[in-house]
Structure 1
Amino acid sequence: MFSNQWCNIKALPGANRLIKHLSGHRVPMALASSSPRENIETKISFHQGWKESFSVIIGGDEVRLGKPSPEIFLEVAERLNVNPCSCLVIEDSLPGVTAGKAAGMDVVAVPSIPKQAHLYTSADEVINSLLDLQPEKWGLPPFQDWIKDTLPLEPWHIGGPVVKGFGRGSKVLGIPTANLSTEGYGSLLSEHPSGVYFGWAGLSKRGVFKMVMSIGWNPYFNNTEKTIEPWLLHDFDEDFYGEELRLTIVGYIRPEANFSSLQSLIEKIHHDRKVAEEALDLPLFFKYKDEPYLKSST
Protein backbone atom coordinates (compact mmCIF):
# COMPACT_ATOMS: atom_id res chain seq x y z
CA MET A 1 0.00 0.00 0.00
CA PHE A 2 1.56 3.26 -1.12
CA SER A 3 0.56 6.87 -0.74
CA ASN A 4 1.51 10.43 -1.47
CA GLN A 5 -0.91 11.51 1.25
CA TRP A 6 1.36 11.10 4.22
CA CYS A 7 3.99 13.71 3.40
CA ASN A 8 2.63 16.53 5.53
CA ILE A 9 3.98 17.70 8.85
CA LYS A 10 0.38 17.87 10.07
CA ALA A 11 -1.22 14.48 9.52
CA LEU A 12 -4.38 14.37 7.45
CA PRO A 13 -7.50 13.19 9.30
CA GLY A 14 -7.51 9.41 9.41
CA ALA A 15 -3.85 8.97 8.40
CA ASN A 16 -2.54 8.04 11.84
CA ARG A 17 -5.53 5.78 12.43
CA LEU A 18 -4.95 3.93 9.14
CA ILE A 19 -1.20 3.52 9.64
CA LYS A 20 -1.65 2.15 13.16
CA HIS A 21 -4.41 -0.19 11.99
CA LEU A 22 -2.44 -1.71 9.11
CA SER A 23 0.78 -1.81 11.07
CA GLY A 24 -1.00 -3.63 13.89
CA HIS A 25 -2.17 -6.24 11.36
CA ARG A 26 1.35 -6.47 9.89
CA VAL A 27 0.26 -5.30 6.46
CA PRO A 28 3.37 -4.23 4.47
CA MET A 29 3.25 -0.51 3.73
CA ALA A 30 5.39 1.73 1.58
CA LEU A 31 5.60 5.45 1.01
CA ALA A 32 6.28 6.69 -2.52
CA SER A 33 6.36 10.47 -2.84
CA SER A 34 7.51 12.93 -5.48
CA SER A 35 9.29 14.85 -2.73
CA PRO A 36 13.05 14.32 -2.21
CA ARG A 37 13.82 11.46 0.16
CA GLU A 38 15.41 13.81 2.71
CA ASN A 39 12.26 15.93 2.87
CA ILE A 40 10.11 12.85 3.39
CA GLU A 41 12.28 11.63 6.26
CA THR A 42 12.09 15.05 7.91
CA LYS A 43 8.32 15.31 7.64
CA ILE A 44 7.42 11.84 8.86
CA SER A 45 9.79 12.25 11.82
CA PHE A 46 7.11 14.50 13.33
CA HIS A 47 4.79 11.49 13.64
CA GLN A 48 5.74 8.90 16.23
CA GLY A 49 6.00 5.39 14.83
CA TRP A 50 5.47 6.30 11.19
CA LYS A 51 8.97 5.68 9.90
CA GLU A 52 9.04 2.23 11.49
CA SER A 53 5.65 1.38 9.97
CA PHE A 54 6.81 1.70 6.37
CA SER A 55 8.81 -1.20 4.97
CA VAL A 56 9.94 0.94 2.04
CA ILE A 57 10.24 4.72 1.59
CA ILE A 58 11.13 6.16 -1.82
CA GLY A 59 11.49 9.79 -2.84
CA GLY A 60 11.20 11.37 -6.26
CA ASP A 61 14.97 11.86 -6.38
CA GLU A 62 15.50 8.08 -6.33
CA VAL A 63 13.82 7.37 -9.68
CA ARG A 64 14.42 8.64 -13.21
CA LEU A 65 10.83 9.57 -13.99
CA GLY A 66 8.33 11.03 -11.55
CA LYS A 67 4.58 10.61 -11.51
CA PRO A 68 2.56 10.16 -13.73
CA SER A 69 5.19 7.61 -14.74
CA PRO A 70 4.58 4.30 -12.92
CA GLU A 71 8.31 3.91 -12.22
CA ILE A 72 8.22 4.90 -8.55
CA PHE A 73 5.38 2.47 -7.75
CA LEU A 74 6.95 -0.39 -9.70
CA GLU A 75 10.20 0.22 -7.82
CA VAL A 76 8.37 -0.04 -4.52
CA ALA A 77 6.70 -3.30 -5.54
CA GLU A 78 10.09 -4.71 -6.50
CA ARG A 79 11.65 -3.73 -3.16
CA LEU A 80 8.70 -5.25 -1.32
CA ASN A 81 8.98 -8.35 -3.51
CA VAL A 82 5.27 -8.30 -4.33
CA ASN A 83 3.25 -8.37 -7.55
CA PRO A 84 2.06 -4.87 -8.51
CA CYS A 85 -1.46 -6.17 -9.09
CA SER A 86 -1.70 -7.11 -5.41
CA CYS A 87 -0.96 -3.53 -4.29
CA LEU A 88 -3.31 -0.75 -3.28
CA VAL A 89 -2.30 2.86 -3.88
CA ILE A 90 -3.87 5.70 -1.91
CA GLU A 91 -3.29 8.97 -3.73
CA ASP A 92 -4.31 12.59 -3.51
CA SER A 93 -3.06 13.82 -6.89
CA LEU A 94 -4.11 13.14 -10.48
CA PRO A 95 -0.53 12.32 -11.59
CA GLY A 96 -0.31 9.85 -8.71
CA VAL A 97 -3.58 8.16 -9.70
CA THR A 98 -2.36 7.89 -13.28
CA ALA A 99 0.94 6.42 -12.10
CA GLY A 100 -0.74 3.86 -9.87
CA LYS A 101 -3.07 2.64 -12.60
CA ALA A 102 -0.20 2.51 -15.12
CA ALA A 103 1.65 0.30 -12.64
CA GLY A 104 -1.28 -2.15 -12.68
CA MET A 105 -2.34 -1.39 -9.12
CA ASP A 106 -5.71 -0.64 -7.52
CA VAL A 107 -6.02 3.04 -6.69
CA VAL A 108 -8.14 4.87 -4.12
CA ALA A 109 -8.15 8.62 -4.68
CA VAL A 110 -8.55 11.15 -1.88
CA PRO A 111 -8.61 14.42 -3.86
CA SER A 112 -6.47 17.16 -2.37
CA ILE A 113 -8.46 19.93 -4.05
CA PRO A 114 -12.07 20.51 -2.90
CA LYS A 115 -14.93 19.73 -5.30
CA GLN A 116 -12.63 18.03 -7.81
CA ALA A 117 -13.70 14.40 -7.33
CA HIS A 118 -15.19 14.29 -10.83
CA LEU A 119 -11.70 14.60 -12.32
CA TYR A 120 -10.46 11.36 -10.76
CA THR A 121 -12.31 9.05 -13.13
CA SER A 122 -9.43 6.63 -13.59
CA ALA A 123 -9.28 5.76 -9.88
CA ASP A 124 -10.99 2.57 -8.72
CA GLU A 125 -12.67 4.52 -5.93
CA VAL A 126 -12.83 8.17 -4.91
CA ILE A 127 -13.42 8.97 -1.24
CA ASN A 128 -13.86 12.22 0.62
CA SER A 129 -11.20 11.52 3.25
CA LEU A 130 -9.21 8.72 4.83
CA LEU A 131 -11.97 8.54 7.46
CA ASP A 132 -14.13 6.97 4.75
CA LEU A 133 -11.72 4.28 3.63
CA GLN A 134 -13.10 0.74 3.94
CA PRO A 135 -10.03 -1.53 3.91
CA GLU A 136 -12.12 -4.69 3.58
CA LYS A 137 -13.08 -3.63 0.05
CA TRP A 138 -9.45 -4.25 -0.88
CA GLY A 139 -8.85 -7.48 1.00
CA LEU A 140 -7.41 -5.72 4.05
CA PRO A 141 -8.47 -6.10 7.70
CA PRO A 142 -11.55 -3.98 8.45
CA PHE A 143 -11.58 -1.24 11.05
CA GLN A 144 -13.21 -2.19 14.32
CA ASP A 145 -13.52 1.28 15.85
CA TRP A 146 -16.96 2.34 14.59
CA ILE A 147 -19.56 2.50 17.38
CA LYS A 148 -23.29 2.70 16.58
CA ASP A 149 -22.63 4.02 13.08
CA THR A 150 -20.21 6.68 14.37
CA LEU A 151 -16.45 7.04 14.39
CA PRO A 152 -15.05 8.45 17.65
CA LEU A 153 -12.61 11.30 17.11
CA GLU A 154 -10.08 13.11 19.22
CA PRO A 155 -12.31 16.01 20.35
CA TRP A 156 -11.80 19.38 18.71
CA HIS A 157 -13.40 22.73 19.32
CA ILE A 158 -14.78 25.69 17.47
CA GLY A 159 -16.82 28.66 18.62
CA GLY A 160 -18.08 32.15 17.97
CA PRO A 161 -21.27 34.19 17.71
CA VAL A 162 -24.24 32.68 15.92
CA VAL A 163 -24.67 34.32 12.50
CA LYS A 164 -27.39 34.34 9.86
CA GLY A 165 -26.94 31.62 7.25
CA PHE A 166 -28.57 31.18 3.85
CA GLY A 167 -32.08 31.28 5.27
CA ARG A 168 -32.91 27.78 4.10
CA GLY A 169 -32.45 25.79 7.33
CA SER A 170 -35.85 26.59 8.83
CA LYS A 171 -37.62 27.77 5.70
CA VAL A 172 -36.57 25.12 3.16
CA LEU A 173 -35.53 22.15 5.27
CA GLY A 174 -37.48 22.70 8.46
CA ILE A 175 -34.20 22.23 10.30
CA PRO A 176 -33.01 25.38 12.11
CA THR A 177 -29.22 25.58 12.16
CA ALA A 178 -27.09 27.85 14.35
CA ASN A 179 -24.50 28.91 11.83
CA LEU A 180 -20.99 30.00 12.73
CA SER A 181 -18.86 32.44 10.78
CA THR A 182 -15.91 30.78 9.04
CA GLU A 183 -13.81 33.92 9.40
CA GLY A 184 -10.57 33.05 11.16
CA TYR A 185 -11.16 29.32 10.81
CA GLY A 186 -9.64 28.76 7.37
CA SER A 187 -6.87 26.45 8.59
CA LEU A 188 -9.21 24.49 10.85
CA LEU A 189 -11.71 23.98 8.03
CA SER A 190 -8.95 22.75 5.74
CA GLU A 191 -7.84 20.26 8.39
CA HIS A 192 -11.25 18.63 8.78
CA PRO A 193 -12.88 16.93 5.78
CA SER A 194 -16.35 17.92 4.71
CA GLY A 195 -18.94 15.67 6.25
CA VAL A 196 -21.39 15.20 9.10
CA TYR A 197 -20.10 15.34 12.67
CA PHE A 198 -21.67 15.40 16.12
CA GLY A 199 -20.94 16.52 19.65
CA TRP A 200 -22.00 19.06 22.23
CA ALA A 201 -23.02 22.70 21.85
CA GLY A 202 -22.79 25.27 24.62
CA LEU A 203 -24.79 28.49 24.42
CA SER A 204 -23.53 31.12 26.82
CA LYS A 205 -27.01 31.99 28.11
CA ARG A 206 -28.91 28.73 27.68
CA GLY A 207 -26.83 25.67 28.56
CA VAL A 208 -25.37 22.63 26.79
CA PHE A 209 -27.21 20.64 24.12
CA LYS A 210 -26.66 17.70 21.81
CA MET A 211 -25.57 18.75 18.36
CA VAL A 212 -25.11 17.34 14.86
CA MET A 213 -23.46 19.45 12.19
CA SER A 214 -22.30 19.57 8.61
CA ILE A 215 -19.02 20.99 7.40
CA GLY A 216 -18.69 21.50 3.68
CA TRP A 217 -20.22 22.83 0.51
CA ASN A 218 -23.68 21.21 0.70
CA PRO A 219 -23.62 19.72 -2.82
CA TYR A 220 -27.41 19.79 -3.15
CA PHE A 221 -27.32 23.60 -2.84
CA ASN A 222 -23.89 23.90 -4.51
CA ASN A 223 -22.35 26.33 -2.03
CA THR A 224 -19.35 28.27 -3.26
CA GLU A 225 -17.68 28.31 0.16
CA LYS A 226 -17.18 25.81 2.94
CA THR A 227 -19.61 26.38 5.81
CA ILE A 228 -20.15 25.23 9.38
CA GLU A 229 -23.82 24.48 10.10
CA PRO A 230 -24.60 23.00 13.54
CA TRP A 231 -28.10 21.81 14.37
CA LEU A 232 -28.74 22.01 18.10
CA LEU A 233 -31.05 19.14 18.99
CA HIS A 234 -33.46 21.12 21.11
CA ASP A 235 -36.63 23.10 20.42
CA PHE A 236 -35.94 26.77 21.13
CA ASP A 237 -38.68 29.37 21.44
CA GLU A 238 -36.67 32.14 19.83
CA ASP A 239 -33.66 32.92 17.65
CA PHE A 240 -30.33 33.57 19.32
CA TYR A 241 -28.30 35.39 16.67
CA GLY A 242 -25.18 36.98 18.13
CA GLU A 243 -25.10 34.68 21.16
CA GLU A 244 -21.78 32.94 21.86
CA LEU A 245 -21.84 29.31 20.69
CA ARG A 246 -19.12 26.81 21.52
CA LEU A 247 -18.87 23.34 19.99
CA THR A 248 -17.01 20.24 21.08
CA ILE A 249 -16.92 17.79 18.18
CA VAL A 250 -16.45 14.20 19.35
CA GLY A 251 -17.36 11.98 16.41
CA TYR A 252 -17.94 11.54 12.69
CA ILE A 253 -21.00 10.07 10.97
CA ARG A 254 -20.55 10.20 7.21
CA PRO A 255 -19.03 12.08 4.28
CA GLU A 256 -20.85 14.92 2.58
CA ALA A 257 -23.13 13.70 -0.20
CA ASN A 258 -25.45 14.96 -2.89
CA PHE A 259 -29.10 13.91 -3.09
CA SER A 260 -31.57 13.39 -5.91
CA SER A 261 -34.35 15.31 -4.15
CA LEU A 262 -34.94 17.73 -1.31
CA GLN A 263 -37.02 15.09 0.49
CA SER A 264 -34.20 12.53 0.43
CA LEU A 265 -31.83 15.18 1.84
CA ILE A 266 -34.25 15.99 4.66
CA GLU A 267 -34.71 12.30 5.48
CA LYS A 268 -30.94 11.81 5.65
CA ILE A 269 -30.48 14.80 7.94
CA HIS A 270 -33.11 13.42 10.32
CA HIS A 271 -31.36 10.06 10.24
CA ASP A 272 -28.12 11.83 11.14
CA ARG A 273 -29.94 13.39 14.07
CA LYS A 274 -31.10 10.00 15.32
CA VAL A 275 -27.59 8.55 15.03
CA ALA A 276 -26.08 11.52 16.89
CA GLU A 277 -28.69 11.52 19.66
CA GLU A 278 -28.22 7.82 20.40
CA ALA A 279 -24.43 8.00 20.24
CA LEU A 280 -24.22 10.98 22.60
CA ASP A 281 -25.97 8.94 25.29
CA LEU A 282 -23.03 6.53 25.35
CA PRO A 283 -20.54 7.15 28.19
CA LEU A 284 -17.74 7.47 25.60
CA PHE A 285 -19.35 10.65 24.24
CA PHE A 286 -21.62 11.79 27.09
CA LYS A 287 -18.66 12.65 29.32
CA TYR A 288 -17.74 15.60 27.11
CA LYS A 289 -20.98 17.38 27.97
CA ASP A 290 -19.33 18.70 31.12
CA GLU A 291 -16.29 20.22 29.42
CA PRO A 292 -15.51 23.67 30.87
CA TYR A 293 -15.00 24.98 27.33
CA LEU A 294 -18.69 24.61 26.60
CA LYS A 295 -19.79 26.57 29.67
CA SER A 296 -17.37 29.48 29.65
CA SER A 297 -18.27 32.72 27.94
CA THR A 298 -16.22 35.41 26.28
Structure 2
Amino acid sequence: MNVQRPQNDIVEIFGYAPNDTSTVCRSLWTLGACPFVETPCSKSNHDKTIVYGTCSVTTRFGDCIICPNRLYANHFATLKEVSVDAFGDVPFYTYQEYIQHRSDPTACVVALGMHSGHEIKLKQSCSMDWVLAKIENVRLVEYTGIEVQSIDITNNYRDNWYAYKNISENAIIPRSEHGMNWANVHKRLIPQIIRKSLIYSRSSFVNSGLYFIVPDIVYKKFEDIIGSDIPLVREKAPDVITVHTYALGDKVSEGRIREIVPVRKIRFKMQDFSDRFVTGPNLPSAEELDAAIRNALGLIG
Protein backbone atom coordinates (compact mmCIF):
# COMPACT_ATOMS: atom_id res chain seq x y z
CA MET A 1 0.00 0.00 0.00
CA ASN A 2 1.19 3.51 -0.80
CA VAL A 3 1.98 5.32 2.45
CA GLN A 4 4.51 7.89 3.59
CA ARG A 5 6.97 6.04 5.82
CA PRO A 6 9.35 7.66 8.33
CA GLN A 7 13.11 7.27 8.51
CA ASN A 8 12.99 5.56 11.93
CA ASP A 9 10.64 2.73 11.17
CA ILE A 10 9.62 -0.89 11.58
CA VAL A 11 10.95 -2.92 8.64
CA GLU A 12 9.08 -6.22 9.00
CA ILE A 13 5.96 -7.32 10.88
CA PHE A 14 5.11 -11.04 10.88
CA GLY A 15 7.77 -11.47 8.21
CA TYR A 16 6.37 -8.97 5.71
CA ALA A 17 6.81 -5.25 5.07
CA PRO A 18 4.60 -3.37 7.56
CA ASN A 19 2.60 -1.68 4.78
CA ASP A 20 1.91 -5.03 3.04
CA THR A 21 -1.87 -5.53 2.94
CA SER A 22 -1.90 -8.80 0.99
CA THR A 23 -4.10 -11.58 2.34
CA VAL A 24 -1.11 -13.88 2.96
CA CYS A 25 0.47 -11.17 5.13
CA ARG A 26 -2.59 -9.91 7.01
CA SER A 27 -3.72 -13.43 7.88
CA LEU A 28 -0.60 -13.66 10.07
CA TRP A 29 -1.59 -10.41 11.82
CA THR A 30 -4.94 -12.08 12.61
CA LEU A 31 -3.31 -15.29 13.78
CA GLY A 32 -0.45 -13.59 15.63
CA ALA A 33 1.79 -16.25 14.10
CA CYS A 34 5.46 -16.40 13.13
CA PRO A 35 5.99 -17.63 9.55
CA PHE A 36 9.56 -18.73 10.30
CA VAL A 37 9.01 -21.19 13.16
CA GLU A 38 5.27 -21.70 12.52
CA THR A 39 4.25 -21.00 16.12
CA PRO A 40 2.55 -18.06 17.89
CA CYS A 41 4.78 -14.98 17.84
CA SER A 42 6.59 -14.37 21.13
CA LYS A 43 6.92 -10.57 20.75
CA SER A 44 4.07 -9.03 22.74
CA ASN A 45 3.32 -6.23 25.19
CA HIS A 46 3.82 -6.67 28.93
CA ASP A 47 0.38 -8.12 29.68
CA LYS A 48 0.44 -10.40 26.59
CA THR A 49 -2.72 -8.82 25.14
CA ILE A 50 -1.08 -7.52 21.96
CA VAL A 51 1.18 -9.58 19.71
CA TYR A 52 3.50 -7.21 17.84
CA GLY A 53 5.17 -9.61 15.42
CA THR A 54 8.09 -7.23 14.82
CA CYS A 55 11.02 -8.95 13.08
CA SER A 56 13.30 -6.08 12.10
CA VAL A 57 13.66 -2.31 12.35
CA THR A 58 15.73 0.49 10.88
CA THR A 59 19.00 1.60 12.44
CA ARG A 60 21.51 4.20 11.31
CA PHE A 61 23.60 1.26 10.09
CA GLY A 62 20.82 -0.30 7.98
CA ASP A 63 17.86 -2.62 8.48
CA CYS A 64 18.53 -4.94 11.42
CA ILE A 65 16.86 -8.14 12.61
CA ILE A 66 15.66 -7.86 16.24
CA CYS A 67 14.05 -11.29 16.64
CA PRO A 68 16.15 -14.48 16.62
CA ASN A 69 13.28 -16.42 15.01
CA ARG A 70 13.76 -14.31 11.86
CA LEU A 71 17.10 -16.09 11.44
CA TYR A 72 15.34 -19.46 11.08
CA ALA A 73 13.80 -18.68 7.66
CA ASN A 74 13.40 -21.45 5.10
CA HIS A 75 12.94 -24.20 7.67
CA PHE A 76 16.09 -23.49 9.73
CA ALA A 77 18.38 -22.99 6.73
CA THR A 78 21.01 -21.24 8.90
CA LEU A 79 21.20 -24.27 11.20
CA LYS A 80 21.56 -26.56 8.21
CA GLU A 81 24.52 -24.46 7.03
CA VAL A 82 26.20 -25.12 10.37
CA SER A 83 25.41 -28.83 10.14
CA VAL A 84 27.11 -29.12 6.75
CA ASP A 85 30.15 -27.18 7.99
CA ALA A 86 30.49 -29.22 11.18
CA PHE A 87 29.50 -32.72 10.02
CA GLY A 88 29.46 -32.75 6.24
CA ASP A 89 26.69 -34.04 4.01
CA VAL A 90 24.61 -35.85 6.65
CA PRO A 91 20.79 -35.79 6.79
CA PHE A 92 19.53 -32.97 9.04
CA TYR A 93 16.40 -33.46 11.15
CA THR A 94 14.39 -31.37 13.53
CA TYR A 95 13.43 -33.28 16.68
CA GLN A 96 9.97 -33.94 15.26
CA GLU A 97 11.49 -35.41 12.09
CA TYR A 98 13.99 -37.45 14.10
CA ILE A 99 11.16 -39.23 15.90
CA GLN A 100 10.26 -40.82 12.56
CA HIS A 101 13.88 -41.96 11.99
CA ARG A 102 14.94 -42.78 15.55
CA SER A 103 15.69 -46.46 14.80
CA ASP A 104 17.59 -45.80 11.58
CA PRO A 105 21.26 -46.89 12.00
CA THR A 106 22.57 -44.51 9.33
CA ALA A 107 24.14 -41.23 10.42
CA CYS A 108 21.99 -38.13 10.90
CA VAL A 109 22.13 -34.78 12.66
CA VAL A 110 19.35 -33.78 15.06
CA ALA A 111 18.71 -30.18 16.10
CA LEU A 112 17.73 -29.65 19.73
CA GLY A 113 16.40 -26.20 20.64
CA MET A 114 13.35 -24.18 21.58
CA HIS A 115 11.55 -24.98 18.33
CA SER A 116 12.82 -28.53 17.97
CA GLY A 117 12.33 -30.67 21.04
CA HIS A 118 13.64 -28.32 23.73
CA GLU A 119 16.69 -26.33 24.75
CA ILE A 120 19.42 -28.14 26.65
CA LYS A 121 19.38 -26.62 30.13
CA LEU A 122 22.28 -26.84 32.58
CA LYS A 123 22.65 -25.75 36.18
CA GLN A 124 23.10 -22.11 37.19
CA SER A 125 20.39 -21.04 34.70
CA CYS A 126 22.57 -21.84 31.70
CA SER A 127 20.70 -23.03 28.63
CA MET A 128 22.12 -23.70 25.19
CA ASP A 129 20.20 -22.16 22.28
CA TRP A 130 20.84 -25.09 19.94
CA VAL A 131 22.73 -28.34 20.03
CA LEU A 132 23.29 -30.23 16.78
CA ALA A 133 23.83 -33.88 17.68
CA LYS A 134 25.27 -36.37 15.22
CA ILE A 135 23.83 -39.84 15.77
CA GLU A 136 24.98 -43.09 14.17
CA ASN A 137 23.91 -46.65 14.96
CA VAL A 138 21.49 -45.13 17.48
CA ARG A 139 24.42 -43.67 19.48
CA LEU A 140 25.59 -40.13 20.07
CA VAL A 141 28.96 -39.77 18.33
CA GLU A 142 29.49 -35.98 18.20
CA TYR A 143 27.76 -32.67 18.77
CA THR A 144 28.28 -28.95 18.37
CA GLY A 145 26.57 -25.89 19.82
CA ILE A 146 24.97 -22.87 18.18
CA GLU A 147 24.14 -19.56 19.79
CA VAL A 148 21.69 -17.37 17.87
CA GLN A 149 21.47 -13.68 18.75
CA SER A 150 19.75 -10.63 17.37
CA ILE A 151 19.52 -7.37 19.38
CA ASP A 152 16.99 -5.82 21.73
CA ILE A 153 15.48 -2.38 21.23
CA THR A 154 15.12 0.50 23.68
CA ASN A 155 12.00 2.71 23.95
CA ASN A 156 9.09 1.57 21.77
CA TYR A 157 7.49 1.54 18.32
CA ARG A 158 3.87 1.55 19.60
CA ASP A 159 2.41 4.45 17.56
CA ASN A 160 4.31 3.37 14.47
CA TRP A 161 3.00 -0.20 14.83
CA TYR A 162 -0.64 0.86 15.35
CA ALA A 163 -0.47 3.05 12.25
CA TYR A 164 0.50 -0.01 10.21
CA LYS A 165 -2.15 -2.15 11.88
CA ASN A 166 -4.87 0.34 10.92
CA ILE A 167 -3.26 1.34 7.63
CA SER A 168 -5.11 3.33 4.98
CA GLU A 169 -4.15 4.56 1.53
CA ASN A 170 -1.83 7.61 1.54
CA ALA A 171 -1.51 7.54 5.34
CA ILE A 172 1.43 9.32 6.97
CA ILE A 173 3.09 6.85 9.33
CA PRO A 174 4.46 8.37 12.57
CA ARG A 175 8.11 7.98 13.46
CA SER A 176 9.03 4.97 15.58
CA GLU A 177 10.63 5.85 18.92
CA HIS A 178 12.81 2.73 19.11
CA GLY A 179 16.54 2.77 19.70
CA MET A 180 18.99 -0.14 19.82
CA ASN A 181 20.32 -1.68 23.02
CA TRP A 182 23.93 -1.88 21.84
CA ALA A 183 25.13 -1.91 25.48
CA ASN A 184 23.86 -5.49 25.70
CA VAL A 185 26.71 -6.58 23.41
CA HIS A 186 29.35 -6.13 26.13
CA LYS A 187 27.03 -6.55 29.13
CA ARG A 188 25.44 -9.85 28.15
CA LEU A 189 26.12 -11.21 24.65
CA ILE A 190 29.92 -11.40 24.61
CA PRO A 191 30.21 -12.90 28.13
CA GLN A 192 27.56 -15.45 27.20
CA ILE A 193 29.43 -16.52 24.06
CA ILE A 194 32.71 -16.88 25.99
CA ARG A 195 31.13 -18.87 28.80
CA LYS A 196 29.25 -21.29 26.55
CA SER A 197 32.20 -21.74 24.21
CA LEU A 198 34.31 -22.77 27.19
CA ILE A 199 31.72 -25.36 28.25
CA TYR A 200 31.59 -26.91 24.77
CA SER A 201 35.38 -26.94 24.42
CA ARG A 202 35.68 -29.27 27.42
CA SER A 203 33.48 -32.04 26.00
CA SER A 204 35.07 -35.07 24.35
CA PHE A 205 32.07 -35.15 21.96
CA VAL A 206 32.79 -31.68 20.57
CA ASN A 207 35.20 -31.36 17.64
CA SER A 208 33.97 -28.15 16.01
CA GLY A 209 33.55 -25.80 18.96
CA LEU A 210 30.74 -23.25 19.15
CA TYR A 211 28.94 -21.61 16.24
CA PHE A 212 27.47 -18.12 16.49
CA ILE A 213 24.68 -16.93 14.17
CA VAL A 214 24.08 -13.18 14.31
CA PRO A 215 23.04 -10.21 12.11
CA ASP A 216 26.13 -8.64 10.56
CA ILE A 217 25.16 -5.22 11.95
CA VAL A 218 25.19 -6.66 15.46
CA TYR A 219 28.51 -8.45 14.96
CA LYS A 220 30.09 -5.15 13.91
CA LYS A 221 29.29 -3.97 17.43
CA PHE A 222 31.26 -6.96 18.72
CA GLU A 223 34.16 -5.73 16.60
CA ASP A 224 33.91 -2.28 18.19
CA ILE A 225 34.90 -4.04 21.43
CA ILE A 226 37.23 -6.85 20.38
CA GLY A 227 38.60 -5.19 17.24
CA SER A 228 38.15 -6.25 13.63
CA ASP A 229 41.66 -7.70 13.37
CA ILE A 230 41.30 -10.72 15.65
CA PRO A 231 43.55 -13.52 14.32
CA LEU A 232 41.54 -15.97 12.22
CA VAL A 233 41.99 -19.71 11.91
CA ARG A 234 41.00 -22.07 9.11
CA GLU A 235 40.42 -25.33 10.95
CA LYS A 236 37.60 -26.30 13.29
CA ALA A 237 38.54 -27.34 16.82
CA PRO A 238 36.86 -27.70 20.22
CA ASP A 239 38.20 -24.30 21.32
CA VAL A 240 37.23 -22.45 18.14
CA ILE A 241 34.27 -20.09 17.64
CA THR A 242 32.80 -19.93 14.13
CA VAL A 243 30.69 -16.86 13.32
CA HIS A 244 28.07 -16.82 10.55
CA THR A 245 26.64 -13.33 9.97
CA TYR A 246 23.52 -12.49 7.98
CA ALA A 247 21.61 -9.50 6.61
CA LEU A 248 18.19 -8.91 5.09
CA GLY A 249 18.09 -9.29 1.33
CA ASP A 250 16.61 -6.86 -1.18
CA LYS A 251 13.13 -5.45 -0.71
CA VAL A 252 10.36 -7.44 -2.38
CA SER A 253 6.84 -6.87 -3.70
CA GLU A 254 3.68 -7.32 -1.62
CA GLY A 255 2.92 -10.85 -0.48
CA ARG A 256 6.58 -11.87 -0.40
CA ILE A 257 9.19 -12.17 2.36
CA ARG A 258 12.73 -10.84 2.02
CA GLU A 259 15.52 -13.40 2.02
CA ILE A 260 18.22 -13.43 4.64
CA VAL A 261 21.60 -13.57 2.99
CA PRO A 262 24.98 -14.70 4.37
CA VAL A 263 27.54 -11.94 4.80
CA ARG A 264 30.58 -13.41 6.61
CA LYS A 265 31.89 -16.76 7.87
CA ILE A 266 34.90 -16.43 10.16
CA ARG A 267 36.68 -18.54 12.79
CA PHE A 268 38.92 -17.62 15.69
CA LYS A 269 40.21 -19.09 18.91
CA MET A 270 38.01 -18.73 21.95
CA GLN A 271 40.99 -17.56 24.02
CA ASP A 272 41.79 -14.76 21.56
CA PHE A 273 38.15 -13.64 21.69
CA SER A 274 38.12 -13.73 25.49
CA ASP A 275 41.44 -11.90 25.84
CA ARG A 276 40.33 -9.14 23.51
CA PHE A 277 37.09 -8.68 25.41
CA VAL A 278 39.06 -8.05 28.61
CA THR A 279 41.94 -6.04 27.12
CA GLY A 280 40.57 -5.09 23.72
CA PRO A 281 41.97 -2.31 21.51
CA ASN A 282 38.97 -0.05 22.21
CA LEU A 283 39.07 -0.39 26.01
CA PRO A 284 38.91 3.11 27.55
CA SER A 285 42.20 4.24 29.08
CA ALA A 286 42.85 5.01 32.74
CA GLU A 287 43.51 8.64 31.73
CA GLU A 288 40.02 8.82 30.22
CA LEU A 289 38.57 7.52 33.49
CA ASP A 290 40.62 10.05 35.49
CA ALA A 291 39.35 12.91 33.34
CA ALA A 292 35.72 11.77 33.54
CA ILE A 293 35.85 11.68 37.34
CA ARG A 294 37.48 15.13 37.56
CA ASN A 295 34.87 16.48 35.17
CA ALA A 296 32.02 15.00 37.24
CA LEU A 297 33.41 16.76 40.31
CA GLY A 298 34.12 20.04 38.54
CA LEU A 299 37.83 19.76 39.30
CA ILE A 300 40.79 20.97 37.26
CA GLY A 301 44.09 19.09 36.85
Normalized against structure 1, the TM-score is what? 0.23
Higher RCO (CA 8 Å, separation ≥ 6 residues):
2
| TM-score, L = length of structure 2 | 0.23
